[in-house]
Amino acid sequence: MNRNWFTRMLMLYIPAFLIVPAFLFFVFFQSLSESNRKDAERSNAFVTQQAMLMIDTSLSSLDQKISLEMLRNRKVISFFSRSTEKDLPLQVDVMNLLRDLKMTNPLIHSIYMVQADHNQVLNESTSYSLDQYADNAFIRSKLEAPNSHWSDTRLYKELPSDKGVPVVSLTRSVSIFSKHHGLIVVNVSADALQGMLLQMHDPSSRILSLYDTQGNSVFDMANLETSVSRTGTSNSALQSEANSDYTGWRIVSSVQGADTFNFIISLSNIWFIAGLLLCAVSVAWIVYVTLQNYRPIQRLVNQLQQLSSKDDAPEEIHKNEFTFINSKLQNMIDQSTRFQLQFEEDLKAQQNFFVYELLEGTRSFDLKEWEKESAKHGLPVLFGKQLVIVLEVDHRSEWSANYGQLQHGTQQKAIETIILEAASDHACEVKLLWVSLHQLACILIISPEAEKLAFEALSFAEECQRRFADALSFTLSVGLGEPVEHPDNLHDSYHEALDALQTKPVNRSAMIIPYSSDPLSKDHSFHYFQKVDRIVDAFRVQEAKWKTEMQALFQNMLEEGISRRGASSVLHYLTYHLNKTASGMNDEYYLLWKTETMPALDRVQKEIDLPEDWTQMVLQLLEQFAERLDTQRNLRSQGNLVQEVKAYIEKHYTKAELSLDYLQDKFGISGKYLSRLFKEEYGLKFVDFLIDLRIQEAKRLLTESALSVQEITERVGYSSPISFARTFKKITGVPPMDYRKGK
């Protein structure tokens, strides 16, 4: 392919490409310099504030300590209260005190006390006359204005012959509790303050200068005439200052080499201007090159315009040539992609619907029609032998609760992948269809090669289970249908696989269950129904034993490995009779059952698949309903009466004379009205409740004692053995003696 035009364009644009990065570099350098300058200013201001804070804190602490010492030290008070010229012990004590203050405060250069009434000065080493003391001029000025703040920088001399030390002084009056007055003067060396500040910065990179209220440098007393004043301070961009509200002093911080830094910044500004000029030249060059090379593009646009649709607006075509070209090509690509995706989706939907029709038997196929349809969906033309297996996720309620919708899709893909890999290894084909969130139907197409290798669906299912165990964190059970040789029989194989899954014990998982037509293999759960009847009867009259019997029922179902079909039948039977019991109660109770408890039981039956889970959920729902019943009964006056009657019957049901007339006389209420209230509260008649109590006791005596039927008849409240035997057989289905023999 000829690339002369490309090479020419590349060589023409390279100069502009080189100029623009250079300009960007200069912009970056300018931004970096400005950022560094701002960081230096912020850092300088922070150091200045911290230095001022350190000086103020140190001097304020020293001020407070001296003031407290003057207020509470009796020796200091005694010194200022009388003449101490002859009291040498007191002078020694005071000098020791001053010496201790100096030793405990490194900032103190010297400290002395002035007894103004006796013209005496006492420092840490000796005593002087005020007139002879070299610092008397400062003392006399402070006697007129005691308790002032820290002084400005001055030269302190203890003796006239001393050279003098730069200090700042604190004076405090001691005339607070006495008519006598005097001063205590504390001198802090300027060198000590400077040494304290040197700990905060590197002198080679930063200069810290401290100025007093007169603008004199605290650290430069050798030449006071050249000290920098407030008005003479440099306004460097890299200089900051801080003022003290406590001392009135000022700290100025400046960075070493600021002039060089500012010079570099000024140079960067020059380069920035030069870069702008270069960019302007580059823009002009780009415009010129573009105009020279636009002609081939214009010819291309004209050709595409001739081929474009007549509906295209001319102004839209000429508005942006590359957009026009790109839109035409993109439209063609998008249209082709949409057609491809739509074709794949339609094909997938058609294949799924075709598989659905085969499984449900909604459409009849003969072999010729099979040959026609199978070619469309990638199936073998010759039907041969095929069978259906159904894979179902075990513990589906737990699986749905632990994984979200997105995870379900990912796991379904993983299951499909495993099945396809296993089918490839067994030389057979599969068609997959998720018939529900938890069930996957697979049509196994047994190829002639697989049939020669003695293909077995059971072996294929076992291989899938091994792979599931290695790759998945949950288990699946597999139901196997029978192989068929005609398309119309595939739905039979599908329903056989579903029927096989219904026989899976509820306490087992990861099972492979072939279909069996043997009726003995079908699980029957009629022997659980009698236990359900006892539970319902106990629940109806709110006997406490219904809870333990229900727990025992579900535990027995789990231990015996009842099938899913059987477990579902037991729960249906329980729900049906509970609903029947509630319908016999008054309208208020039944409305509570129908609107709250019954819908919740239906959800449990649909969403939970293990009896051990049923126990907790069903017990919780029934306990809530029972509590609501008790609350409603306690609010009804007749409810309390019926509960009282029920308790009396449970205690005296063995009396032969117990009847509605007997209870009418006992409780002073009409027998018919009492029977109606009993029916409304508990959903059964008084007579049925009494008979149930007597028959249950008779059952216990028949199985646990050796009493005769005559004796048992009298004990449970029947006057005639014939009447008792007739009632017992009506309730249990067998006479009393046969019941004893059976037990």
Q: Which residues contact 550 (CB under 8 A, 6 or more apart)?
A: 535, 615, 618, 619, 622
Sign of CA dihedral 327, 329, 332, 337: negative
In a domain, 675, yes or no: yes
pLDDT top residue among 470 and 11:
470
Among 189-203, 267-281, 439-453, the range of highest mean pLDDT: 189-203
Write the pLDDT tens digit of every residue in 574-600: 888 888 777 777 777 777 788 888 888
Note whether 540 and 661 are same-domain residues.
yes
- Tell me whether strands 512-514 and 476-480 are parallel, antiparallel or unpaired: parallel
Note whether 480 and 548 are same-domain residues.
no
Note whether 385 and 502 are same-domain residues.
yes
CA distances from 407 to 390, 403, 414 (A): 21, 6, 10
Q: What is the mean pLDDT of residues 312-330?
A: 63
pLDDT top residue among 665 and 599:
599
Note whether 437 and 491 are same-domain residues.
yes
Rounded distance between C-alpha atoms, residue 457 and residue 478, angstroms: 11
Note whether 38 and 152 are same-domain residues.
no
Q: How many residues does the chain have?
A: 743
Note whether 46 and 72 are same-domain residues.
no
Write the pLDDT tens digit of every residue in 15-36: 766 666 766 766 776 677 777 7
In a domain, 69, yes or no: yes
Q: What is the mean pLDDT of residues 151-167?
A: 85
Rounded distance between C-alpha atoms, residue 229 and residue 380, angstroms: 105
Q: Is the pLDDT of residue 223 over 60?
A: no
Write the pLDDT tens digit of every residue in 88-120: 888 888 888 888 888 888 888 889 888 887 888
Instruction: CATH number of the domain at 389, please.
Output: 3.30.70.270
pTM: 0.44
Note whether 189 and 276 are same-domain residues.
no
Write the pLDDT tens digit of every residue in 536-562: 777 776 777 788 888 887 778 777 777
In a domain, 590, yes or no: yes
Tell me the pLDDT of the chain averaged across its residues.
77
Domain tally, the chain: 4
Note whether 23 and 78 are same-domain residues.
no
Q: Is the pLDDT of residue 368 over 60?
A: yes
Q: Is the pLDDT of residue 164 over 80?
A: yes
Q: Domain ends where: 471, 499, 521?
A: 521
Q: Is the pLDDT of residue 613 over 70?
A: no
Instruction: CATH number of the domain at 118, please.
Output: 3.30.450.20
pLDDT of 337 reads 80
Write the pLDDT tens digit of every residue in 243-275: 888 888 888 887 766 566 666 666 666 766 776
**Exposed, middle or buried: residue 373 (CB in 10 Å: 0-12, 13-18, 19+)?**
middle
User: DSSP secondary structure string, 116-132?
Assistant: GGGTEEEESS-EEETTT
In a domain, 35, yes or no: yes
pLDDT of 442 reads 92
Q: What is the mean pLDDT of residues 489-512?
A: 85
Instruction: CATH number of the domain at 563, please.
Output: 1.10.10.60
Domain that holds residue 153: 64-221+236-255
